[in-house]
Amino acid sequence: MTQRSAATGKGTMVRIARDIVERSGVDVPALIAALTDAARAELSDFYRYGVLAAHPLAGIDGPLREILQDVRTEDRHHFDALAARICELEGRLPDDLFGFVRPAPPPAVLDPLAELLAAERRAVETYSRLCERTAGRDHRTHDLVRAILNEKLEHRAWFAEYAGAEGAAPPRFRPGFRGRSPYLPKTRPDAPA
C-alpha cells in the first residue's frame, strides 16, 4: 500500500466514523467543541500540576507530590486520547498552543490541595456531561469519556483521602501507579489486547 492510498484510507475511515456519529443524532461540531474544551483542560492541568509539584513554596509534601505526579501523567494520557478522538471525528486542535491552553492562575498558591480538589471536581462535571451527551448514541466517544471519568473520580478520591488523612498517602493510592491509566487503555485502538 502506498503512502497516498494509506492516507486516503484513513480519510475514508474518518468520514465513516463521523457519519456514523452524525446519523446517531449527535451534533458533531458541538461534540468536537466539548472534547476540545476537555482536551484544553487536560493539557492545562498537566502543565499546572507540573508547576505545583516543582514549586518549593507550594506546600506539596512527599505523599501529595507522588499523587500529583501520577495524576499529571494520567492527564497527559487523557489529552492524547481526546486529541485522537477529535481527529477521528474530523476535528482539529488549534495550532497555536498559547491560544489553546487556559491562562495561568496567579503564581501565589494559597491552598494547593483545595485547588487540586476543585480541578478534579470540575473535570468530573465535564466528563459526566460528555457521558450524558454520548450515551446510547456515540459508543466510541462514550467509552472514552466514561474511562476518563472513572480515572477523574479516582483522582478526586485520592486528594480527598489525602486531605482527610492529614498528610498521609490515601489507602486507595498505590505508589508506582504512574502512567498506568487503568480504565483508559481499554478504549485506545493501539492498546494491546
* Three-state SS sequence of 63-125: HHHHHHHHHHHHHHHHHHHHHHHHHHCCCCCCCCHHHHCCCCCCCCCCCHHHHHHHHHHHHHH
Q: What's the DSSP call for residue 1?
A: -
Specify whether the CB–CB gap between 112 and 54 falls below 8 A.
no
Supply the DSSP string of 158-178, one letter for each residue. HHHHHHHTTSSPPTT--TT-T
Q: Which residue has the cell 487523557?
A: 78
Specify whether the CB–CB gap between 171 and 138 falls below 8 A.
no
Query: How far apart are alpha carbons 134 and 150 in whole angstroms?
Result: 16
Identify the sign of the CA torsion 127, 131, 159, 182: negative
**Closest alpha carbon to 179 in 71, 81, 42:** 71
Angle at 110 between CA 77 and CA 61, to 5 degrees: 60
Q: Which residue has the cell 486531605?
A: 163
pLDDT tens for the 193 residues of the chain, in order: 444 444 445 667 777 888 888 898 899 999 999 999 999 999 999 988 888 887 766 667 778 888 888 899 899 999 999 999 999 999 999 888 877 876 655 545 567 888 888 899 999 999 999 999 999 999 999 999 999 999 999 899 888 888 876 555 555 565 555 556 666 665 544 444 3
Chain center to CA of 134: 16
The gap between the terminal CA atoms of the chain, to the nearest Å, is 25
